[in-house]
Amino acid sequence: MAVTDTAQTLSPRHPVTLTPTSLDRRLRARRARNAWLLLAPALLVVLVAAAAPLAMVLWVSFWRVDGLVLARTIDTEAWASVLSDPTFRRLAWSTVQTVVIVLALVGVLGLAAGYFLARFVTNRKVQALLLMLAILPFWTSYLIRIITWQPLFGNSGVINFLLAKAGLPQMELFLFNQRAMVFAMTSLYVVFVIGPVFWALSRIDPEVIAASRSLGASAWTTFRTVELPLARGGLVVGLFFASIFLFGDYATGRLIGGGTNPMLSDAISQYAGSGQWPVAAALAVVLFGIAIVVLALFMRVYDLRTEL
Amino acid sequence: MTRTHLSYSEMMARRFAADHAVTRRRLLAQGAKLGGAFAAAGALGRWAAGDAAAQGVVLREIGLSLTEDPRILSQFQADTGITMEGNSQILGNQITFWLQNYQDYDVNQVNFSQNAPLLAQEAIQTLPVADIPAWNDQVIELYRVPGTPGYSERSGWPLAGTYTAESIEAETYDTFIGTPTWFGFDAFGYLEGQAQGDLTSYGAIFDPANAGRAALLNEPITSVMKVATFLEGTGQAEFEGALNNLTTADLATCFEFLNELKQAGQFRLFWSDFGQLVDLLVAGEIWVGDFWASACAAAVASGAPAVFVNDPAEGSNGWIQGADISAATEHYPEVTTFINWYLDSGVPGAILGVQGYYSPRPDRVEPILSEQSTTVEGISDWDYWYEGAVPEERPALSERINHIADWQAYPDEFEEYSRLWTAFTSA
């Protein structure tokens, strides 16, 4: 009501032309106009870069493959096959499974590493250096990071070489199966959590922690009841970013998973690559839906908007 | 008799020198032609069209990295004055890339197994055979005469993949879907000393002795065709459709076989590209599978004992690579000059020849490959790669043609292939 109050104090000087309601309306209109003007560039980008392609994907999912030709119709054939075929249900389920497992691992490991950096490394320079080391692999290409997996865990890789030297049986745990894929994805995406968690933990006032400890809380209780709730924002932001990459990652599945446990993203790539765009598009819509549900769950745990 | 295979570095050094020798000879020939001495230039001069209007035209194409070899593209420009800008794609991306971008390109150098959908979607155009003068009686008979060795009575390939249905019906063979520019025979490979069992049959891939060490390409058309070739070749199944165009019932048989094997842990992985395959072979991760000849050769160069089985007992799977013309090209005359050059100059044929692939015009490749020896000491590349001078390693082309089970093609039931393949890999 601040605007109206101001208008009322002004009104005696301009009793005819500036009634409280018209000033109110004008100010509101100007505000709204300015807001839209400020929003316009971002809205335009979102519209062109996100909304339009998504609408296109949705439209393509209603096309039909007519013999050899893509018919641009409105047809539910692709959706019928995606929804009725148990293969696609299995793919969707294994995608959800993989994403949940990897996010859980990434969350726990990222939290541990971030906590270590924030609480156990006191020297600022060493902190920065360690954080840099965690980020360093991201300066090389994704493919190179993935390909190094083989010389490490492969048949004739470092681990098996050492096992053989020690007279132990060789292992094939970490290549070409779902376990390997999950492990590789965890190592690829954990860095997204370490940074934000470290940052959030560092922002906690040391006196808050001191207060908790001086009131008799153990380190664990302090972590659980004071630090973790305060660092929740960092954790959720980290998982948020990790999941964005995770949903679209099909290369790890192919190169480390050996193509034996494909996720929805892999099927989308296969179907799109062989010209079966309607099914690929329908699968993309399903994947998008799953992603939205996962992100909405994050928001329930912690409303990112309070961080902005 | 012991033969000395050249070391990798020696092979590369000689090939480098050979390429330069080819360029030098062609420059001399061109110089002679420009000087008006057409006769002196002889056969080498014919490709140099010298069409003044074509000079400076820039064409664009997509293809595999093998086709987009800068040595090929630069020689084309040197010979004709026309520029061809190449854009390398991996096999799995080609259909989608072309459908989205053909308006901006002139040529799609593609595996002819993809021709059917490209033509149906009007993204490529057919062309009169007469527009490619190099496509004449010197072209290997396989691509001209039905019923000759290598021709599949059941599928009608390779003619069915090359000419339009109308021109085959009319027996005129006068209209191309696309022009074949190189071809080869797909089979399987293994690591010597590791893979067990009968290594002359595709059965090695499915042999329990190699359980957990076998691999297949993560792509339904070629992989399913190999399974079908094995099952029919060994009398375990008889299919209604051709090996490259199986019916739904045929597919059920193939996938029953595959699914059982997968459950039993036969397959270590499904590979997706050339570089990955070479790494896997060099690291010894997989022992047997539907490996490409060129990947086996690359693995050998890196020290892995990889062997490509040229002609398995059940027969090889032929494939055609060729030039499809964009439905939207604005440079049709220059495009036909390019395709003609591809066949007639012998240059791409020679470069691809020492990598194991064949030209439909061997007579144009022979003069170049006969003059170089970059593979086995004392044997010309022509004798090694085309004539079977070392038959146990590389039988003659004329011999290999007799062992083709069928040709890779786009099947009518592709959706079913794809559906069952996804179910199989994700099971």
All domains in chain B, ordered by first residue: 8-39+50-184+320-396 (3.40.190.10), 186-316+407-426 (3.40.190.10)
A150 touches chain B (CB under 8 A): yes
**Interface contact flag, A87 B95, Cβ < 8 Å:** no
Residue B45 reports pLDDT greater than 80: no
Share of chain B above pLDDT 90, in %: 78
Rounded to a whole number of angstroms, the distance from the CA of B216 to the nearest CA of chain A is 10
Q: What is the pLDDT of residue A278?
A: 95
Residue scoring higher pLDDT (B191 or B41)? B191
Measure the CA–CA gap between B26 and B48, rounded to whole angstroms.
Answer: 10
Q: What is the pLDDT of residue B53?
A: 59
Mean pLDDT over all residues of chain B? 91
Residue B178 reports pLDDT greater than 70: yes
Measure the CA–CA gap between A110 and A232, rounded to whole angstroms.
Answer: 12
Q: In this structure, how many other beta carbons lie within 10 angstroms of the beta carbon of residue B306?
A: 24
**Interface contact flag, A69 B120, Cβ < 8 Å:** yes
A81-106, pLDDT tens digit by residue? 999 999 999 999 999 999 999 999 99
- What the block records as the tokens of A270 is 């296969």
Q: What is the pLDDT of residue B331?
A: 96
Contacts of A184 in chain B (CB under 8 A): none
Mean pLDDT of B151-163: 96
B267 touches chain A (CB under 8 A): yes
Q: Which of residues 190-249 of B touch A (CB under 8 A)?
A: 218, 220
**For chain A, domain boundaries:** 2-50, 79-307
Contacts of A276 in chain B (CB under 8 A): 415, 418
B116's CB contacts (< 8 A; 6+ apart) are: A68, B409, B410
pLDDT category of residue B275 using cuts at 50, 70 and 90: confident
A176 touches chain B (CB under 8 A): yes
B296 touches chain A (CB under 8 A): no
Rounded to a whole number of angstroms, the distance from the CA of B350 to the nearest CA of chain A is 31
Mutation target for B interface from A149, A260, A271, A279: give the one with most B CBs within 10 A. A260
A154 touches chain B (CB under 8 A): yes
* E runs forming strands in B95-145: 107-111, 124-125, 127-128
Measure the CA–CA gap between A64 and B393, rounded to whole angstroms.
Answer: 48
Q: Please, what sign has the CA dihedral across residues B13, B15, B21, B26? A: negative
A169 touches chain B (CB under 8 A): no
Q: What is the pLDDT of residue A273?
A: 86
B98 touches chain A (CB under 8 A): no
Query: Contact B141/B286 with Cβ under 8 angstroms?
Result: no
For residue B290, which of B316, B325, B259 has the smallest C-alpha distance? B316
Rounded to a whole number of angstroms, the distance from the CA of A99 to the nearest CA of chain B is 16
A229 touches chain B (CB under 8 A): no
Q: Which chain A residue lies closest to B98 (C-alpha atoms)?
A: A275
pLDDT category of residue B231 using cuts at 50, 70 and 90: very high
**Interface contact flag, A260 B283, Cβ < 8 Å:** no
Give CATH superfamily name and number for A79-307. Answer: MetI-like (1.10.3720.10)
Contacts of B269 in chain A (CB under 8 A): 176, 258-260
B372-406, pLDDT tens digit by residue? 999 899 999 999 999 999 998 899 999 999 999 99
Share of chain A above pLDDT 70, in %: 92
**Interface contact flag, A65 B415, Cβ < 8 Å:** yes
Q: Please, what sign has the CA dihedral across residues A278, A282, A285, A287? A: negative
Q: Which residues of chain A have a pLDDT value below 50?
A: 1-11
Query: Contact B285/B304 with Cβ under 8 angstroms?
Result: no
Contacts of B410 in chain A (CB under 8 A): 68
Q: What is the pLDDT of residue B38?
A: 43
Q: Which chain A residue lies closest to B411 (C-alpha atoms)?
A: A68
Q: What is the pLDDT of residue A167?
A: 86
**Which ipTM did the prediction report?**
0.83
B339-369, pLDDT tens digit by residue? 999 999 999 999 999 989 999 999 999 999 9
Contacts of A267 in chain B (CB under 8 A): 422, 426
Measure the CA–CA gap between A24 and A31, rounded to whole angstroms.
Answer: 11
Q: What is the pLDDT of residue B6?
A: 79
Residue B39 reports pLDDT greater than 50: no
